[in-house]
Structure 1
Amino acid sequence: MKEKFRNIFWFFGIFAIVVMLCTFDMDYQELWHNLRKAGYWLPAVVLLWVFIYFLNTCSWYAIIRDGKHARVPFWKVYKFTVSGFALNYATPVGLMGGEPYRIMELTPYVGASKATSSVILYVMMHIFSHFCFWLFSVVLYIMIEPVNMAMGLLLAVVGVCCLIAIYFFMKGYRKGMAVRTLKLLCHIPLIRKWAQHFILEKNDVLERVDKQIAELHGQRRSTFYLSLGLEFLARIIGCIEVFFILNILTTDVSFVSCVLIMAFTSLFANLFFFSPMQLGAREGGFALATGGLAISSAFGVYTGLITRVRELIWIVIGVLLMKFGNGTEKIKRNGEIDRH
């Protein structure tokens, strides 16, 4: 990526961090008191995400490799993963900063079409794993918790929506989604002309991207399920964060309850996808989820606070990583990399 484009992403990340710090909805003295209460659990929560991002990177790396030797080093993909998520956390509507950044960083290694298709595939896999996780949590709730009529209706709606989403994702994997997505954008007033122009200008590239997307599910099933499995595992491991935080306040909580809390919270927060860092929605989701499982709602608010601090720490790390390890790469014909 050209340095001027990288600097644009970097300055955007710095601006987002400053805005978040200035709009933190808590007195800083109270915040410090709550962080001190967390003790060694806060570093444990932060370090847990080293492993979660490792799983995310492995999922994306499996797609990039295409069953062959990858031209891009694994540590570079890890760096792009962390920085990409940092930009997504800070961006309203999500997926508006991190994905272009990843594509532009990966392009010098594998080319524009491969970089685009691998990022699109990974984003699809990341979102797809959300629906699999929510559907799994619906089944888990029915197995271990009493279900009244109101809760049964809610679980039925969530379950049906997840099944419909999974069906459309599988259909998209079989036939590709790039061209279809752009055609849908052609019906949106503000970006209709841009989408139409982009389809006409980049039609060959889009068709090549769709072909690569379809190949992952059709010809490389093992890579498809490996990538999906790693993303799903990352979501289960992410529930340990809730378990760690709640153990600051009480020992009367099971890991299974933490899975249900995380599932409901992520579902609730994603309904407010237009908010940067899902401000307010995440905390509200934790409060409602813990209350629904007969755990104090105050515990949920505290969990949301510590989670928000962890996110902010990793946003800072991701933004800083954008300025390191950015040597100029030149791909040789034999697939090796020259560094200058």
Structure 2
Amino acid sequence: MKWSLNNIFFVLGLVVVVVMLFTFDVSFVELWDHICRAGYWLIPIIGIWIVIYGLNALAWMAIIKGNTDPDEHVGFWRIFKLTITGYALNYATPVGGLGGEPYRIMELSKDISKQHATSSVILYAMMHMFSHFWFWFSTVFFYLILALAGDEACSLNTTVCIVLGVIVVFCLIAFYLFSRGYRYGLVVRAIRWIGHLPGLKGWSQRFLAAHAESLHKVDEQIAALHQQSRRNFYVALLLEYFARVVQSAEVLFMLLLFGIDGGGGFDGIMLTYMHSILIVSLTTLFANLIGFLPMQLGVQEGGFALSTAALGLTAAQGLFVSIICR
């Protein structure tokens, strides 16, 4: 990537942060009060993201190793840097948080071939979302186990059962679509699908005609990871899934700050951690369903409000959690 493009991305990030600050629903005074209330808890709350991004980077490295030639090598710290900066752009841009992928492709192309960089970035983006679906799917049964065990925060009424059923069906459909993508690739299909959008048919046909060979090779590399490098595939999936579990510790720290500890002791803290996993699951599901908003403005806050209310917490507690997470 040219130096000028790096500056463009840097300026874009600054502009989005300024927009976020001036459109945030909470005043600076109230925001500062919340930060002061968090106090020293901000250290583990922020520090946990070093672990999360480290797991993300390891997952991406596993994909790169299973998708590149033996003479191509990218170091961990290089991937760690691109992971953080890529996600920063994802949070700052619309279209489902995909703004960081072009940046990652351009930067990674400095270390490996452009085709391998493209397929590795696409594969990691797919894996990141694939792990989300497994997280949502598994937490449905996690919720049922807690409910059947008598957890008062996990009720089982008609509405809850319908919602859980919809989530299961939604995830099963996604698993089928992902299996198709991993088996046959999806880049060519995605470009053809874009051609069905108004005004983009001509562009789609020209792009496919000009880059047909390269796009088919990228699709072949996407399919090859699952077919020929299954160990790397499942290692990446487990790392990404575990990152979602670790992310739940962020919510746990904030609930402990409120004195919510499930009755105290190790068992109480573990129960609170289980509730934190459910909160993160519902919040991320809600945020990804409406993920086209820049910075996901209002979406994350709404997700936390819904998930915390569902588990018996107050609106003020949900707002505090969302603000500190932001």
Instruction: Give TM-score, length-normalised by structure 1.
Output: 0.88
Shift of 1:197: 1.4
Shift of 1:82: 0.3
Q: How many residues align?
A: 308
Matched, 1:72 2:74: yes
Shift of 1:235: 0.5
Amino acid of the structure 2 residue aligned with 1:224: F
Matched, 1:286 2:304: yes
Shift of 1:213: 0.5
Matched, 1:163 2:165: no
Give the structure 2 partner of residue 338 of structure 1.
none
User: Residues 290 and 299 of structure 2 are in contact (CA less than 8 Å); yes or no, is this contact kept in structure 1?
Assistant: yes
* Aligned counterparts of 2:199 and 2:279: Cα–Cα separation in 1: 38
* Aligned counterparts of 1:190 and 1:298: Cα–Cα separation in 2: 46
SS at match of 1:40: helix
Q: After alignment, is 124-133 or 287-296 more displaced? A: 287-296
Q: Percent identity?
A: 46
User: Residues 63 and 123 of structure 2 are in contact (CA less than 8 Å); yes or no, is this contact kept in structure 1?
Assistant: yes
Which of 286, 296, 305 aligns to 1:268? It is: 286
The correspondence of residues 1-340 of structure 1 with structure 2, limited to 5 A, is: 1-66=1-66, 68=70, 70-145=72-147, 146-253=155-262, 254-308=272-326
User: Residues 286 and 300 of structure 1 are in contact (CA less than 8 Å); yes or no, is this contact kept in structure 2?
Assistant: yes
Instruction: Give TM-score, length-normalised by structure 2.
Output: 0.91
Q: After alignment, is 67-76 or 235-244 more displaced? A: 67-76
SS at match of 2:122: helix
Deviations for 1:231-289, whole angstroms, at most 9, x for unmatched residues?
A: 00000100000001111112334111111111111111112211112111111111111
* Aligned counterparts of 2:200 and 2:228: Cα–Cα separation in 1: 34
Amino acid of the structure 1 residue aligned with 2:111: Y
User: Residues 240 and 258 of structure 1 are in contact (CA less than 8 Å); yes or no, is this contact kept in structure 2?
Assistant: yes
Q: CA RMSD in A?
A: 1.3
Q: Which runs of 5+ in 2 are unaligned?
A: 148-154, 263-271
* Aligned counterparts of 2:138 and 2:45: Cα–Cα separation in 1: 24
Give the structure 2 partner of residue 311 of structure 1.
none
Amino acid of the structure 2 residue aligned with 1:236: V
User: Residues 64 and 70 of structure 1 are in contact (CA less than 8 Å); yes or no, is this contact kept in structure 2?
Assistant: no
* Aligned counterparts of 1:248 and 1:47: Cα–Cα separation in 2: 16
* Aligned counterparts of 1:268 and 1:171: Cα–Cα separation in 2: 25
Deviations for 1:88-138, whole angstroms, at most 9, x for unmatched residues?
A: 001022344200000000112111100000000000000111110000111
* Aligned counterparts of 2:28 and 2:146: Cα–Cα separation in 1: 40
SS at match of 1:109: coil
* Aligned counterparts of 1:76 and 1:271: Cα–Cα separation in 2: 31
Q: Which runs of 5+ in 1 are unaligned?
A: 309-340
* Aligned counterparts of 2:225 and 2:279: Cα–Cα separation in 1: 33
